[in-house]
Structure 1
């Protein structure tokens, strides 16, 4: 019995520190937010149980439905663009032999840059007197209000987030590409398969588990985007960038209505969970 229990207990001891941190900083706060969403908790620590009143209020809140639409549109732009850019750069790096580490470091560098610093730099790039509009002016195309026009501001912010965050997914996908046996691709090449056929029939199917992980983390990141919006637009113009996470900040740290802010957070948690499960179902039919 001791022999059979030794390996599981040893493994548990190795993961116990991270498990404790996960419980403290993930599980317990989530349970606390779920309980807080059933109260009218305020900044003074005073609260009373209100049951489902916050959720009923949420359903009648026009601001919530606006923020939900904005969040979904942003995710629909950001996630596919990030995956395509990360996968494309990973495929290129997988073919590079000379100075591979240098190129990998250069492409990963934006990921370790501060979101606030990146937001300030890109806000200058998008301004009327900034880099992009300066180049457009030389081509007589006129200034473009990237951050002032509701139809352009979300794609503009998505580009910033892609530039800032694709490096992490690129490394994950690159590791997935390295795990694919080279003999499969060599055999397909000998059989006359084109590069596109090798990618579609061999690389992409074997990359599905890694691709699923990247889709999940990028979707979660899209729903949690805050820093870039806070620095560059502040939820505007006309709440065109007022996402769910920005609404949580607005209600919690501006209005100090923590109970209602927690309600927004629980709805966001449920949405991310459902989207992740749907992605898993569609991507690999439960075989990941």
Structure 2
């Protein structure tokens, strides 16, 4: 009995520091945000208990529903685009033999670049006298207001975020590709399967766990996007890029409504949690 208890206790001691950090910096703030959402706390430290008043106010707030719609549209654009780019680059890197490490480092470099720096660079690229409009002008297609037109701003922001963040997902998918036994692909080749058949029948099914992990991580990142929007558009034009996170920032630090901002954060947390559970269920179904 002592031996049975000794091994789990030893393992627990090893993970205890990280467990404490997780509880202090992740779990406790979640509980704190939930408590704040039940008050009208402001930056001055004054507060009163309002119960579910903030949630009732949120449900009646048309700006909240607009920002939720914008957030969902952004997620619908960003996640598939990121997964496709990450999967495509991972497949290319998996096929490369010469200088693979160099190419992998070059493709991963944008991921370690500051979001603020990336936003400043891409804002210049998107400007009317920027690089893209310069090329369009030579083709007589005229300047395009990528960040000035409501119909283009979300795709333009999604492209920046994809360029900035696909490197991490690329490495995850590349590791998944390396875990696929080469004998499976060789046997399929001997049986006469072409590249598309090998990808569809062997590579994609075996890559599904890594692929769904990437989808979940990138979905969470999409819901939390703030830096790029703050630097490039400030929620504009005409609130066309005003997401839930940007609304949370405005309520908390611009209007000093920390309680209401915490309410938005709790709703966003619940939304991401539900979406993650749905994706997890799809993952389990795919592995069944």
Q: 1:243 maps to what in 2?
A: 243
Q: 1:217 maps to what in 2?
A: 217
Q: 2:115 maps to what in 1?
A: 115
Distance in 2 between the 1:103 and 1:59 partners? 49
Alignment of 1:134-283 (within 5 A): 134-283=134-283
For normalisation by structure 1, the TM-score amounts to 0.98
**Count of residues in correspondence between the two structures:** 288
1:153-198 Cα distance to aligned partner (Å, 9 max, x none): 0000000000000000000111111111111111111111111111
Q: RMSD value over aligned CA atoms? A: 1.1
For normalisation by structure 2, the TM-score amounts to 0.98
- SS of equivalent to 2:203: helix
Distance in 2 between the 1:163 and 1:286 partners? 29
In the TM superposition, residue 284 of structure 1 has moved relative to its aligned partner by: 3.8
Q: Is the 8 A contact 2:70 2:241 kept in 1?
A: yes
In the TM superposition, residue 286 of structure 1 has moved relative to its aligned partner by: 7.0
**Alignment gaps of 5+ in structure 2:** none
1:44-97 Cα distance to aligned partner (Å, 9 max, x none): 112111110000000010110000000000000000000000011001101111
Alignment of 1:36-47 (within 5 A): 36-47=36-47
In the TM superposition, residue 6 of structure 1 has moved relative to its aligned partner by: 2.6
- SS of equivalent to 1:50: coil
Please say which of residues 278-287 and 211-220 is displaced more in the overlay: 278-287
Q: Is the 8 A contact 2:208 2:286 kept in 1?
A: no
Distance in 2 between the 1:194 and 1:9 partners? 52
Distance in 1 between the 2:254 and 2:70 partners? 20
Please say which of residues 10-19 and 227-236 is displaced more in the overlay: 10-19
Distance in 2 between the 1:93 and 1:244 partners? 36
